Structure 1
Amino acid sequence: MFDAPSGSVMRSWTGWIKPEDRQAYTEYIEGTGMSAYRETPGNLGALMLFRDMPDGRCEVRTLSFWRSRDDIVAFAGDDIGRAVFYPEDDRFLIDRETTAEHFDIA
């Protein structure tokens, strides 16, 4: 993977899709959110994770790594705690967090 330097920040967001939408959603997010993360100056990398839930949903988590919270502002706007959504998200997401969490990397 990669080594995130001490003092950098991890951003985490979670949503839920139908398991059968996993491939289509992966392609959609690679072309929207993941590419937006990676194209923003200060981004150190990004991952998309999936897990099937006992209730029949598939949880999606995106993790992005940033040099600083100021760099996250360039991606997310002044309220970095608010999640960023894209026009076709409603087509896939059956539930979503409307916030993003941030963790300082030791």
Structure 2
Amino acid sequence: MITRIWHGRTRSSDAERYLQFLHETGVRDYIATPGNREVKIWRKTEGDVTHFWTISVWDNLECIKAFAGEDIEKARYYPEDKDFLLEFEPTVQHYESFSIK
């Protein structure tokens, strides 16, 4: 399995609206893509800035390509992200992941 991690930052005053936006766009699209196993959102507020990480788990790199396009290292954004994000990080991280019970 492969874990994909994206990071973004918003103003803390926009954090609740951005969380809802993430659910309506990215999370919905992750879940709708075959081969997606799981999606989590991590959030941390530091004063006036709130960090978001989306962590998605995939069967393999081909499944990620179905979501992200051929260049899986490139971050995928939606037009409305410009209303929330403080910057646009150009890439995401991918890691092999293993479940241990």
Q: TM-score band (shorter)?
A: over 0.9
- Please say if 1:24 is aligned against 2:20: no
RMSD: 1.0
Question: 2:74 aligns to what SS in structure 1?
Answer: coil
- Please say if 1:46 is aligned against 2:39: yes
- The corresponding residue for 1:36 is 29
Read off the aligned partner of 1:102 and give its amino acid letter. Answer: H
- Please say if 1:102 is aligned against 2:94: yes
TM-score where L is the length of structure 1: 0.88
| Deviation, structure 1 residue 95 | 2.0
Q: Quick one: distance in 1 between partners of 2:74 and 2:39?
A: 18
Unmatched tracts of structure 2, length 5 or more: none
| Deviation, structure 1 residue 53 | 2.3
Q: Quick one: distance in 2 between partners of 1:95 and 1:76?
A: 19
Unmatched tracts of structure 1, length 5 or more: 1-7
Matching residue within 8, 31, 34 for 1:15: 8
Deviating above 2 A after TM superposition, structure 1's stretches of 4 or more consecutive aligned residues are none
Q: Quick one: distance in 2 between partners of 1:92 and 1:41?
A: 28
Question: 1:95 aligns to what SS in structure 2?
Answer: coil
Identical residues among aligned pairs (%): 33
Read off the aligned partner of 1:30 and give its amino acid letter. Answer: H
Read off the aligned partner of 2:82 and give its amino acid letter. Answer: D
| Deviation, structure 1 residue 22 | 1.2
8 Å contact kept, 1:14–1:96: no
What is the number of equivalent residue pairs in this alignment? 98
